[in-house]
């Protein structure tokens, strides 16, 4: 799995970076959800809201 670049400002999400279903739309969706959670997690933690 790729780590965020540019101090956490750049997150990779695509079927090629998926850990499951690589090369398929399912992989792209899972990768997008993973990237969204990674982006939203610090925001939720700093505001006291639990990411779900």
| pTM attached to this predicted model | 0.66
- Higher model confidence: residue 1 or residue 13? 13
Residue 51 resides in a domain: no
User: Which residue is associated with the tokens 């933690």?
Assistant: 45
Asked if residue 19 belongs to a domain, the reply is yes
Q: Please report whether residue 17 resides in a domain.
A: yes
Q: What local confidence, expressed as pLDDT, does residue 22 receive?
A: 84
Please report whether residue 13 resides in a domain: yes
Q: What is the domain range of residue 13?
A: 1-27
Q: Check residue 44 and give its pLDDT.
A: 63
* C-alpha separations of 16 from 8, 41, 44, 47, 50 in Å: 20, 23, 27, 32, 29
- Mean pLDDT within 8-33: 88
Residue 14 lies in a domain: yes
Which 8-state DSSP code applies to residue 19? Answer: S
Taking alpha carbons only, the member of 49, 42, 46 closest to residue 11 is: 42
Instruction: Calculate the average pLDDT of the chain.
Output: 81
User: How many domains are contained in the chain?
Assistant: 1
Q: What pLDDT does 27 receive?
A: 93
Alpha carbon distance 28, 37 (integer Å): 14
Give per-residue pLDDT as tens, 27-39: 999 999 999 998 8
């Amino acid at each position: 799995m790729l780590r965020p670049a540019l101090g956490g400002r750049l997150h990779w999400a695509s079927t090629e970076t998926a850990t499951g279903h690589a090369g398929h739309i399912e992989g792209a969706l899972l990768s997008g959800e993973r990237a969204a959670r990674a982006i939203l997690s610090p925001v939720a933690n700093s505001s006291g809201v639990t990411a779900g």
